[in-house]
Amino acid sequence: MARELFRFFEGTDLAGFNVLKYDIPLLVEEFLRAGIDFDIEKRNLLDAQKIFFMMEKRNLSSAYKFYCGKTLENAHSAEADTIATYEVFKSQIERYMGQELEDLQGNKIGIMENDMKKIHSLINEKMVDLAGRFVFNDKGEECFNFGKQKGKPIAQVLKEEPGYYDWMMKGDFPLDTKRKLTQVKLRGFNL
């Protein structure tokens, strides 16, 4: 089947939405597993998502225009940004009130309500450290969110590979990340 698919794609360009981060790497990987060198060097690769992200900015000025229908004057001044952020947040609550929210993976995580604690838990439900290096899993355990240990509980990794703690503490990680790592380590000593 891989050979048939390879022939089908022979001499074609590839296009889609989010294809550069998902579909094309997956396709190339599967061809390589089947022993077929699917060369993308001579193909045009088009990703509508990349154009969307380039053209539709993700910043406060754009959010203010989208949610409030206004142009942000004096962007990056503390007062203007604070007022615009408040108005964007207020508009988001009004627009999405009662609607189900999904995370980036499409999982339903809750209903939008005008309640600070509930919104906080929806937005930050899995966050352990501010850099996002650690997240909570479904069991409430702090887990690595990067590298070879991704998805593994921190306590388990520190127990199985004690040197991992030193590597991270000496590495270029934010101090908040190191603090959270130390808290998990100390908890292992029942301190």
Domain ranges of the chain: 2-55, 60-124, 134-188
CA–CA separation, 118 and 110 (whole Å)? 9
Tokens of 23: 């579909």
Q: Considering the entire predicted model, what is its pTM?
A: 0.63
In this predicted structure, what is the pLDDT of residue 191?
54
- 56: phi then psi, degrees, rounded to nearest 5: -105, 95
CA dist list (Å): 98 to 13, 64, 76, 94, 110? 43, 22, 32, 9, 9
The answer to whether 146 and 120 are in contact (CB under 8 A) is no
The pLDDT, as a whole number, for residue 103 is 79
Per-residue pLDDT of the chain (191 residues; tens, 9 = 90+): 889 999 999 999 999 988 988 899 999 989 999 999 888 888 899 998 888 888 888 899 999 999 999 999 998 899 999 999 999 999 999 999 999 998 777 888 889 999 988 888 887 778 899 899 999 998 999 999 999 999 999 999 999 999 999 999 999 999 999 999 999 999 988 75
Cβ 14 vs Cβ 46: under 8 Å: yes
Give the pLDDT score at 127.
Answer: 86
Per-residue pLDDT at 160: 96
